[in-house]
């Protein structure tokens, strides 16, 4: 069961109290298989990740680059389903209270059942959900129908989001805002935008929750730069790539890769939102 104080909220409260920034890691659930995926989650936890985003494998991930597309394909081939992802969440909860955000497209949620997905995800131990392709104009009606179930609803805001829509998304956000450092699909290419600080500040003017930045972050130097501007750093494709590159020991490779990024983020001080 989700505790009365959501784990995401509690984590950011602790980070603010210690004047630190968040490191948020993304991995594909079930990549390369259920058991190894659980070991990868534990490796991220042991390395000090503050929040973990868990991607539901989907056959048509339009917003993802090739690295995450291949990860989803590997997970699907291993037999992962939405129900198995929730089993993975439950297995992780046996040993960890690190917040988990389910990162998904609408299709798997509708196939499972919109209300049932939110209910079962919360019961399994998830703390938030990010629905990539749910139009913000329709989100409130859908989410009201689903019921809260304690899950925080994470919103995406891109650099080219119009000011009026940015204000609407920021005001409706829960847990934290996922701000894209640049436009395009996921992937380590491109690097964070040089206008990152300006974008974060414009979002903060409308936000009641922390602003975290992802897309194009793959080195400790980039992680530190983003942490200096935002409340948290999100790294995805660069972590997922380690699973592809090290099929014999992906959990160990992920742990080695993220440690210097996490260390770089932890060195940055400065109270955020």
Catalytically annotated residues: 53, 64
| Residue 53 CB partners (closer than 8 Å, separation 6+) | 24, 25, 26, 27, 100, 101, 102, 103, 130, 234, 236
- Phi first, then psi, for residue 191 (nearest 5°) are 75, 165
Q: For residues 128 and 24, is the Cβ–Cβ distance under 8 A?
A: no
d(CA 55, CA 187): 14
Among 98, 52, 74, which residue's Cα sits nearest to residue 243?
Answer: 74
* Placement of tokens 């602003």 in the chain: 211
d(CA 77, CA 160): 36
Surface-to-core class of residue 162, CB atoms within 10 Å of its CB (0-12 exposed, 13-18 middle, 19+ buried): exposed
The percent of the chain in helix, strand and coil, each rounded to the nearest 5, is 50, 15, 35
Taking the alpha carbons at both ends of the chain, their separation in whole angstroms is 28
């Amino acid at each position: 069961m989700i505790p009365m104080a959501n784990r995401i909220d509690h984590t950011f409260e602790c980070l603010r109290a210690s004047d630190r920034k968040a490191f948020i890691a993304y991995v594909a659930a079930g990549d390369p298989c259920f058991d190894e995926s659980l070991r990868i989650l534990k490796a991220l936890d042991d390395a000090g990740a503050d929040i973990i985003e868990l991607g539901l494998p989907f056959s048509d991930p339009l917003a993802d680059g090739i690295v995450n597309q291949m990860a989803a394909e590997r997970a699907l081939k291993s037999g992962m389903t939405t129900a198995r992802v929730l089993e993975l969440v439950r297995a992780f909860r046996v040993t960890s209270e690190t917040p988990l955000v389910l990162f998904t497209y609408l299709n798997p949620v509708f196939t499972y059942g919109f209300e049932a997905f939110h209910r079962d995800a919360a019961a399994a131990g998830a703390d938030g959900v990010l629905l990539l392709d749910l139009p913000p104009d329709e989100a409130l009606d859908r989410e009201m129908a689903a019921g809260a179930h304690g899950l925080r609803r994470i919103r995406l805001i891109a650099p080219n989001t119009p000011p009026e829509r940015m204000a609407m998304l920021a005001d409706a956000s829960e847990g934290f805002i996922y701000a894209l450092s640049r436009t395009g699909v996921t992937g380590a290419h491109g690097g964070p935008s040089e206008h990152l600080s300006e974008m974060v500040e414009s979002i903060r003017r409308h936000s009641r929750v922390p602003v975290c930045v992802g897309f194009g972050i793959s080195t400790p130097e980039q992680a530190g730069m983003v942490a200096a501007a935002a409340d948290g750093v999100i790294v995805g494709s660069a972590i997922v790539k380690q699973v592809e590159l090290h099929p014999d020991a992906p959990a160990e490779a992920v742990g080695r890769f993220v440690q210097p990024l996490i260390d770089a983020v932890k060195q940055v001080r400065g109270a955020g939102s």
